[in-house]
Amino acid sequence: MEPQEALRRLIAATPGFMPEDEGMALYNLARRSRPSASEPIVEVGSYCGKSTLYLAAAAQPERATVLSIDHHKGSEENYPPFPYTDHKLVEPYSAQINTLLPFQQTIRLAGFEDTVVALVGASSTIAAAVTVTSSLLFIDGGHGALPAWIDYDGWVSSVKYGGILAIHDVFADPRDGGQVPYGLFLAALHSGEFELVLEVGSLRGLLRKNR
């Protein structure tokens, strides 16, 4: 079942960085990955839950789980001198972004509190402490070289055989955007472990080959 009208409206109203065509492609990848309660979808980079809603819409009919990881402090690209800061998300006293409350509100409004589990902390800390087999891994955290490669190294081996690795903000041409996610995408492709199955906008879907 595709996301219903009410859910689509909530997705449209949720702040974030997921165009509808890419979100629907992510939803279809998540369906294809056959998530379950014991082989959840893992998302790195929750922000306010926009992409999470697409993933949860795919997980819910399977009674599967989405683990969504974020320290909820925003990425370096959410702070000056980068152009994009959403001032509604800045805490009044700390001048820091805090997306945890908006994320929780998004999930509650969608009725996905039983489906989505927020893991709040640095991606590398959680990766070091938690071992999980994921049906689909969605990498959309910090796009600087260090955080992105830490996400890749920390999480990519979680993807089950026959599962999906999805990477966002992949731009082959530097005029379109930063090159770090593209580097992750190339590494996955060149590892021989993955085969490209989807390209929509800046979203890439890679199938982990069976052994």
Active site residues: 143
Minimum separation from the CB atom of position 41 to Mg ion (A): 16
Minimum separation from the CB atom of position 210 to ligand SAH (A): 28
* Selected binder of Mg ion within 62, 140, 151, 193 (CB under 5 A): 140
How many angstroms separate the Cα of 146 from the Cα of each of 166, 180, 181, 184? Answer: 19, 9, 11, 12
Binding site partner of 75, from Mg ion, ligand SAH, none, Cβ cut-off 5-8 A by kind: ligand SAH
The reply on whether position 171 binds Mg ion by CB under 5 A is: no
Shorter beta-carbon distance to Mg ion: residue 151 or 169: 169
Shorter beta-carbon distance to Mg ion: residue 17 or 149: 17
Number of residues that bind Mg ion (CB under 5 A): 4
Contact assessment for residue 159 and residue 208, using Cβ atoms and an 8 Å cutoff: yes
Binding site partner of 51, from ligand SAH, Mg ion, none, Cβ cut-off 5-8 A by kind: ligand SAH
Shorter beta-carbon distance to Mg ion: residue 156 or 203: 203
The reply on whether position 17 binds Mg ion by CB under 5 A is: yes
Per CB under 5 A, which region of 12-20, 23-31, 70-78, 122-130 contacts Mg ion?
A: 12-20
Minimum separation from the CB atom of position 205 to ligand SAH (A): 15
Residues in touch with ligand SAH (CB under 6 A): 16-18, 45, 47, 50-51, 69-75, 99, 122-123, 140-142, 147
How many angstroms separate the Cα of 132 from the Cα of each of 62, 66, 106, 159? Answer: 18, 12, 25, 9
Enter the tokens of residue 155: 């999480």
- Give residues in contact with Mg ion (CB under 5 A): 17, 140, 168-169
